[in-house]
Amino acid sequence: MMLDQLIAGLDIRVVRGDARRARVSDLTEDSRTVLPGSMFVARKGLASDGRRFVGEACVLGASVILSDDASLATPPGVVLCVCENVAQMAAQVAERFYGAPSSSLVLIGVTGTNGKTTVAYVAHRILNRCGVRCGLIGTVLVDDGRETAPAAMTTPPAIELSRTLATMVESGCRACVMEVSSHALAQGRVDGLKFDAAVFTNLTQDHGDYHESKEDYLQAKRRLFELLPAGGVGIVNADDAASAQFRADRLVRCSSRPGADWWVEVCSQSLAGMELSLVGGDEKVRCTTGMFGAYNAMNVLQAYVAARTAVDVLADERAMNRLGSAVLGLKAPPGRLERISGPGDDVTVFVDYAHTPDALKNVLSALRSVSSGGRICVVFGCGGDRDRSKRAEMGRVAGTLADRVIVTSDNPRHETPGAIVSEILGGLSPQARAQAEVHVQRKTAIECAIVQALPGDIVLIAGKGHERVQIVPDGCGGVMELPFDDAVEAAAALRTRREQEASRT
């Protein structure tokens, strides 16, 4: 595509070169991936400054540089384009370059502190089950219509987003559900996309290391609803006080109590799952799921309403008739209350991603509600280089709601694991602190929790969920990733427990 066509009407000015003669064959923010004819987006990020790599990009054949610095040196023949908000303009350019794929899909964005992954994953499952080919972009995985692969981050950069959506369109997808993080919203990564519906799950404590205040965090979340076009649908969790701050032309209020546009009733639940009744006006849908807990009941309700909204936008009567059967036997995403123990084990072990105070509270409360009287043990830590304000609070939650608390490492990154553990312990009451166990090595913590559990106990391993690595200091001022999977370690500890029991009989 010729550059003048690519940037026509956008708040981008050409300060050097001829836009009418420059052909753009690719977009990238990574100088290492520049190809001849690429537009290289040179902007300052959280970890590095792309403007430092303009020279490298030009050597590799970049035909256009997009930046906010008009003084950048570029060789003859390379066009320098400048704008005020590079991330926002990159999102607009990417969507245009890839043929506006978000306009060819029913695009549903899901934002909130907790629940994004489950809502997006379940909505994606429902839509595909009822015959609507739907893509998924989320924390756990990406389904681009061709293949399913592990995700690198919750919401990818703008260029990757539009490229992935274009692949979905080429692969025959009619819809896409995507998680939209507060970071992505604040950085303008999704500003080029056309959303048909937005979902707000909740707002609780998190990302204090990035957002200046809770109001700043809330504003980032609200941004998704502000991107909705006229007639766009906003789906909110009305049980969360922050939901009153969200606006949409068509607002759908979801609740755990009658009186909302849609509400959910938990008919029965156990460690095996729950049966729900989803009610909206005169419509009533029975739903069975392998998940349990009040927070998951809300996740399922919002996922169903999101899927139903997509089907309504598509005016697909056949899919609408299949929605009722599509909600039967729903399962949680990997790493979300994922059960690791089997029917032959005398303890029940779950792995969950809960890494905020509210998420940990919800999961522990859910386990208590279905417990048959055994103790509840929680193994958790907190990530380094992240919101320190939640560490003591997570300690308080664990000490209040669990019978046995084991504090360990999460992803310490650049921080000293012991220092993080100390901050967590600071939130426990003196009595709970005296009873808490500390095993800085996460493998040891998981093994102790499971091997030393009493028959009938429930063990929750929280914080990392689906993650397959642990990020630790490398001893040289940086970090390194080590293979580590909570589910694998828990399964190994269960085998050790079974072997020890067998040797005693």
Q: What ranges do the domains of the chain cover? A: 3-96, 99-330, 338-504
Do the bridges between strand 273-280 and strand 262-270 make them parallel or antiparallel, or are there none, so unpaired? antiparallel
CA diameter of the chain: 83
Is the pTM above the cut of 0.85? yes
Residue identified by tokens 């990238």 is 28
Do the bridges between strand 283-289 and strand 328-330 make them parallel or antiparallel, or are there none, so unpaired? parallel
Q: What's CA 271's distance to the chain center, in Å?
A: 25
Q: Give the type of residue at 108.
A: I
Distance CA 476, CA 37 (A): 38
Q: What tokens appear for 308 in the block?
A: 């139903």
Query: What torsion do the CA atoms of 332, 335, 336, 337 make, to the nearest 10 degrees?
Result: 100
pLDDT in tens, the chain (505 residues): 999 999 999 999 999 999 999 999 999 999 999 999 999 999 887 678 889 999 999 999 999 999 999 999 999 999 999 999 999 999 999 999 999 999 999 999 999 999 999 999 999 999 999 999 999 999 999 999 999 999 988 889 999 999 999 999 999 999 999 999 998 999 889 999 999 999 999 998 555 556 568 889 899 899 999 999 999 999 999 999 999 999 999 999 999 999 999 999 999 999 999 999 999 999 999 999 999 999 999 999 999 999 999 999 999 999 999 999 999 999 999 999 999 999 999 999 999 999 999 999 999 999 999 998 899 999 999 999 998 999 999 999 999 999 999 999 999 999 999 999 999 999 999 999 999 999 999 999 999 999 999 999 999 999 999 999 999 999 999 999 999 999 999 999 999 999 999 998 7
Q: What tokens appear for 198 in the block?
A: 């937005």
Q: What tokens appear for 423 in the block?
A: 């901050």
CA distances from 120 to 47, 146, 321 (A): 28, 18, 21
CB 217 within 8 A of CB 242: no
Using CB atoms within 10 Å of the CB of residue 112, give its burial: 0 to 12 exposed, 13 to 18 middle, 19+ buried.
buried
Fold match flag (99-330 vs 338-504): no
Distance CA 39, CA 162 (A): 15
3-state secondary structure at position 378: strand
Please list, in sequence order, all residues whose beta carbon lies within 8 angstroms of the beta carbon of residue 162, skipping any fewer than 6 positions away: 91, 94, 95, 97, 98, 101, 102, 192, 193
- For 338-504, CATH number? 3.90.190.20
Do the bridges between strand 175-179 and strand 134-137 make them parallel or antiparallel, or are there none, so unpaired? parallel
H helices of 26-102, in order, are 54-59, 86-97
Q: Give the type of residue at 93.
A: V
Q: What's CA 156's distance to the chain center, in Å?
A: 11
H helices of 36-115, in order, are 54-59, 86-97
Which CATH architecture describes the domain 99-330?
A: 3-Layer(aba) Sandwich (3.40)
Do the bridges between strand 26-28 and strand 38-41 make them parallel or antiparallel, or are there none, so unpaired? parallel
CB 238 within 8 A of CB 312: no
CB 98 within 8 A of CB 162: yes
**Within 13 Å, how many C-alpha atoms sit on residue 179's CB side?**
28
25: nearest Cα among 54, 58, 61: 61
CB atoms within 10 A of CB 441: 12
- Provide the strand spans (E) within 300-365: 328-330, 338-339, 348-352
Kindly state which CATH superfamily the domain 3-96 is placed in: MurE/MurF, N-terminal domain (3.40.1390.10)
